[in-house]
Amino acid sequence: MGSSGGNSRLIVAVKGYDLQNFLAKLKILKEIRKETLIHMSPSGTLLIATGNRGKLKEFDEILSTFPIRLLNLTDFPGIAPVSEDGMTFIENALLKARGYAAQAGILTLADDSGLEVDALGGAPGVHSARYAGENALDVERNKQLLDALSLVKDDERTARFVCALALVDGSGDVLFVTTGTCEGRISTYPRGVRGFGYDPLFVPSGFVETFGELDESVKDRISHRGKALKSMCQYIAENLNHLR
Ligand code: IMP
């Protein structure tokens, strides 16, 4: 690793990695980061544009691998909420990323995600956060979903989580958009206390446990957000020294 006059020189360390197994190797990557002199320009700051604590925890776990200062919406007390009235997850992720980047003036990552249930024609979909009303709790949304599926047989309770991520720079230009999905089915009753939102009801394909029961590291590896973040991390790793 040669010096580049005090400027960014992370790329070599990250590029050498098998990005297919990126998430599984986060610990190793963190060690390399410690052992490698990494310099990032002071502008290396990323706003994670969500107020959802569950999402923030998952973003932090994965993005803290990079030598970027991570901020979230609570670091911008005066920031105005951006309306999410798009028809798709991608539209909403772009609305949020552009809307918050315009106000904060820094590199901004936004997520829009939700649950699509086949027996409900894809609902709650982009309305997942408001499925039981504007200020409802997770437990109320979960009850609403179980009630809607009360007559639906086990083999027809298929569903998927979808996550769209959009990265926009401080001047509002869209840098990268990606999506991830996680197939599964809806349990007949809530199980587990991990995660957030619909996690206690969602059984990912290949497992018998819900996301509420599975270890967080398993969710990070197979979830919609984990998969979308994997390609976002690849983009960030490859462009780290150009991001503003
Ligand atoms: P939004 O992206 O802020 O519109 O919110 C999406 C909503 O979908 C969340 O409030 C959760 O109810 C649900 N959701 C999204 N991702 C997950 C997840 O990983 N686990 C559980 N629920 C989720």
| Ligand 1 mean position, distance from CA 49 (Å) | 14
Q: How far apart are the first and last CA of the chain?
A: 23
For ligand 1, atom 11, which residue shows the shortest CA distance?
Answer: 197
| Ligand 1 mean position, distance from CA 153 (Å) | 24
Q: For residue 240, count other CB atoms closer than 10 A to its CB.
A: 19
**pLDDT for position 29:** 46
Which residue numbers are catalytic? 112
CATH number among 3.40.50.620, 1.10.8.50, 3.40.140.10, 3.90.950.10, domain 5-238: 3.90.950.10
| Ligand 1 mean position, distance from CA 129 (Å) | 6
Query: What's the DSSP call for residue 8?
Result: -
Q: Count Cα neighbours of 87 within 13 Å in the Cβ-side half-sphere.
A: 0
Provide φ and ψ at 84, rounded to 5°: -110, 70
Q: Which two tokens stand for residue 88?
A: 């798709």
On whether the CB atoms of residues 199 and 145 are closer than 8 A, the answer is: no
Atom of ligand 1 nearest to the CA of 50: 3
**pLDDT for position 15:** 37
Predicted TM-score of the model (pTM): 0.84
**pLDDT for position 113:** 98
pLDDT in tens, the chain (244 residues): 333 333 333 332 333 334 455 455 455 444 434 333 333 334 589 999 998 999 999 999 889 888 889 999 999 999 999 999 999 999 999 999 999 999 999 999 999 999 999 999 999 999 999 999 999 999 999 999 999 999 999 999 999 999 999 999 999 999 999 999 999 999 999 999 999 999 999 999 999 999 999 999 999 999 999 999 999 999 998 888 777 7
